[in-house]
Amino acid sequence: FCGSLAAPTRWRQQTGGSVTAVDINPAAVRCATINALLNDVADCVTVQQGDLFTPVSGQQFDVVLFNPPYYRGQPQPGFDQAWRSEDVFERFAAMLKTHLATGGYALLVLSTAGGEAACLQNLTAAQFIISVVARRDMGSEVVTIYQASLSK
């Protein structure tokens, strides 16, 4: 998701704000950096390589967009990290509060084909309020964008 930079670029164009993108995969980071240049948003888009919030330690955000790996399990090196993780839902839920600005929220892209229930359970256990923003039936799966916030 970081590699395409589609959603962050659109966000920046609509709000005029800045975007920080993080991806664990160096190829996705390179792709996102190139896309920021091609879409003329490199002046307000920062792309960093790392795991979840590690590269942005101490920073807070108004909106966090998260498109996690859908499947549980040990990823193979490389692009499999985009699809598989053993504990990403738990770690994301545990770290999110400290990285949201007051009134901030997270948008999560989840699939019924993956760990949707596990991710939502971890966020609920961390006291987040979950609501559906959009949902699309793709035939073999339903993809849903959820909002997670600390207050309504």
pLDDT digits (tens, 9 = 90+) for 72-94: 656 566 665 555 456 788 889 99
Taking 3-state DSSP, the helix, strand and coil percentages for the chain, each rounded to the nearest 5, stand at 35, 30, 35
Band (6; pLDDT cuts 50, 70, 90): confident
Does residue 111 surpass a pLDDT of 80?
yes
This prediction has a pTM of 0.83
What ranges do the domains of the chain cover?
A: 1-50, 59-152
Domain with residues 59-152, CATH architecture: 3-Layer(aba) Sandwich (3.40)
Angle subtended at Cα 135 by Cα 89 and Cα 2, rounded to the nearest 5 degrees: 50
Higher pLDDT, 8 or 59: 59
Residue 7: count other Cβ atoms within 10 Å of its Cβ: 17
User: What do you get for the CA distance between the two ends of the chain, in Å?
Assistant: 27
Nearest CA to 56 out of 106, 7, 19, 30 is that of: 19
84 CB-side CA count, 13 A: 9
Nearest CA to 67 out of 19, 115, 32 is that of: 115
H/E run at residue 72: strand 71-72
